[in-house]
A and B are shown apart, each in its own frame.
Chain A
Amino acid sequence: MFNDYSPEACGMTAPPGGTRISLLRVRDLSVEFATRDGVVRAVTEVSFDLSPGQVLALLGESGSGKSVTLRSILGLNPPVRTRVSGEILLKGEDINRLAERARQDLRGGVVSMVFQEPMTALDPVYTIGGQIEETLIEHRGLERAAVHRRARELLDLVQMPSPERCLASYPHEISGGMRQRAMIAIALACEPELLLADEPTTALDVTVQAQILWLLRDLQRRLGLAVIFVTHDLGVAAEIADDAAVMYGGRIVEQAPIRELFRAPAHPYTEGLMHATVRRRQKGKALVPIPGAPPNLAALPPGCAFAPRCPHVKPVCIEALPPLHVVASDHVSRCHLVPERLASPLLVLNKGGSL
């Protein structure tokens, strides 16, 4: 069910500046929006690596900074009243320092995105065919006939029913599942190496959700795609991901191979998420919701952002930001309680260290 896991394939433990092939390398990414209610710190000091073919699940509630992280990788945060700092190295090039023209070549060409709601993410007044073809024309400069043939191939690739008719259809004329297949076809049009999937199954019917998930997993394996899969659904993450990063209040609070995360969560928030999720062998047990509400990103506390909702909270949690504790060789958690909860010798990383 899971891809073979090794520290090399994960890359979380590699030192900065290592020679290992890294497709995406995010270092201390922070994104702040200036709003009427003050500065919203949507993402704070997020660091992670992704190697070719690796699937990372980005887990967390709404407003935890998952989507903003994805947009930052595309260099698509709003241009005004936004401050982005840190590095996002895509194949070694910092997206924040590239000229707009070079970024356009990366978008769609190297990194693509699949959105949550295909109805709103497709242009309603262009046909599906037109929307696939313009991507090809922009990046590849192909001729009409070649473009049409490639569009048709792409619809076959995403197993679209009656592809020829679909090419001439407008988004409102096809079903939700077909729209999401079309969205995936557009994203894959120019053979990107990294696919950003922003809750791609959330807006669909349950049966269709499973189909789209299988399709994505199948495509990921056949094409060797690296994927960042944003979801709040642990079950979905378990189906597709090699590794998981849990986000809370704009920070990554825990990161581990997904099996390890399920087996031994080392952050109270991750535990809370698991108790609130339907799992196998849990029939008859009530789900336990996490009390309280996600933090206000315009007024984050000085200590741990999860402290107000944490069942194990201690005075130190309110006073000081927890450092990243290494739980196992490739498992880290940003929680003060890690040392005492795990009776094993632990190494404490400095703030801003490799995650």
Chain B
Amino acid sequence: MWRYVGRRLVLAIPTLLGASIIVFAMVHLAPGDPIAAVLPVDASKEQVEAVKKAYGFDKPLPVQYLKWLGRVVTGDLGKSIATRRAVILDVRDSLANSLVLAISSSVLAFGAGIALGLLAAFWQGRWLDKLASAVAVVGVSVPHYWAGIILIIIFSVQLNWLPAMGAAADGGIVAYLRHMTLPTIALALIPLGVIARVVRSAALDILAQEFVLALRAKGLGHRRVFTHVVKNSAPQIITVLGLQFGFQLGGSVLVEAVFSWPGTGYLLNLAIFQRDIPVLQGVILVLATFFVLLNLLVDVLQTYIDPRIARH
């Protein structure tokens, strides 16, 4: 087991290197010259050369990459062009906010999605299944930023129950919780629908297998049969949960923008409009690392549940 984890950790390194190359290349692929962004339009040629030298842009690309990578590994992601603050600080604060939202919306979406999916599978073809499927379809079909706006209109504007914007970072825990309620719901809708559908089909796959009949044939009660079905469909479900959690972490740009939630999505949005490439690189690199680690965790969990997966 631990050897498997160790090997997967080693295998994660090339994936991370690949991600870092893409992030690094962004500077050179993005429209607009990064030098032009820091210098006034009428800068002289000497000034341009001096800045190029200062930033290391006069060296060949591989050398630039290795130097950049060396700094990144030590936690130095550079300075924000817009705020002159160290990128690592901005990323850290926004990541904390995003993590909170990702976790709360995932708990909501995973819990409700798994429950709906299992209900639908065990009552396949009856009204409960149809209701659960309808909820799931609505969940995956509604754009989450639109759902966010509708939630703001109902609960903030009409009913005036919950705040619409910001995170109230210094307003105490209750204020923080009140601020995160609406974005959590908006962010949970899509994964809820996706998970409900995946869980339903995974559980139905298992229910159709002969061993479920065999379990009933040896006189097991509903609870034990249910446990078998859940354990067998778990590897497939966990894969989706891992992916969805990753999306929650990085894919919430629009929802964070709608609710002005100071997370990574909000920061990304800001960085894109300000052409703040160091911030953009930092956020993406950190999110990519999270994604890789999350996939690793999913793989390890799967091996733990289904011993067949560890065989090669």
Give A residues with C-beta under 8 Å from B: 71, 74, 76, 80, 101, 104-109, 112-113, 115, 117, 120-126, 134-135, 138-139, 170, 172, 183, 186-187, 189-190
**For chains A and B in complex, what number of residue pairs have CB atoms within 8 angstroms?**
77
Q: Please give the distance in Å from B96's CB to the nearest CB on chain A.
A: 37
Q: Which stretch (B112-120, B211-219, B268-276) binds chain A? A: B211-219
Contact: B232 with A138, CB < 8 Å?
no
A120 and B211 within 8 A (CB): yes
Chain A: which residue is nearest B214 at the CB level? A121
B216, A120: Cβ atoms closer than 8 Å = no
Of chain A, the residue at the smallest CB distance from B308 is: A172
Tell me which of B13-21, B87-95, B220-228 binds A.
B220-228
B220 in contact with A104 (CB, 8 Å): yes
Contact A104 B306 (CB under 8 A): no
Q: Are A123 and B215 in contact (CB under 8 A)?
A: yes
Q: Which of A113, A124, A134, A138 contacts B308 (CB 8 A)?
A: A124
Residue in chain B with minimal CB distance to A100: B222
Interface on B for A, CB 8 Å cutoff?
A: 125, 209-211, 213-221, 224, 228, 231-232, 305-308, 311
Residue among A106, A121, A124 making CB contact with B219, cutoff 8 Å: A106
Q: Are A170 and B308 in contact (CB under 8 A)?
A: yes
Known contacts being A123-B228, A124-B232, A126-B228, is A107 close to B218, with CB within 8 Å? yes
Flag if B217 contacts A108 (CB, 8 Å).
yes
- Quick check: A112 and B218 within 8 Å, CB to CB? yes
B220 touching A124, Cβ below 8 Å: no
Bound complex: CA A322 to CA B221 (Å): 43
Are A107 and B307 in contact (CB-based, < 8 A)? no
Q: How close is A64's CB to chain B, nearest CB, in angstroms?
A: 19
Closest to A76 in B: B216
Query: Which residue, of B210, B232, B308, has the highest number of chain A Cβ atoms within 10 A?
Result: B210
Residues of A near B221 (CB, < 8 A) are 101, 104, 138
24 contacts between A and B (CB under 8 A): A71-B213, A74-B216, A104-B219, A104-B221, A108-B217, A108-B218, A113-B214, A113-B217, A113-B218, A120-B210, A120-B211, A121-B213, A123-B228, A123-B232, A125-B232, A126-B231, A134-B220, A135-B220, A138-B224, A139-B219, A170-B308, A172-B311, A183-B214, A189-B218
Nearest chain B residue, comparing its CB with the CB of A139: B219
A121, A125, A126, A186 interface centre (most CB from chain B within 10 Å) = A125
Residue of B125, B213, B306 near A124 (CB, 8 A) is B306
Chain A hits for B215, CB < 8 A: 123
Contacts of B213 in A (CB 8 A): 71, 76, 115, 121
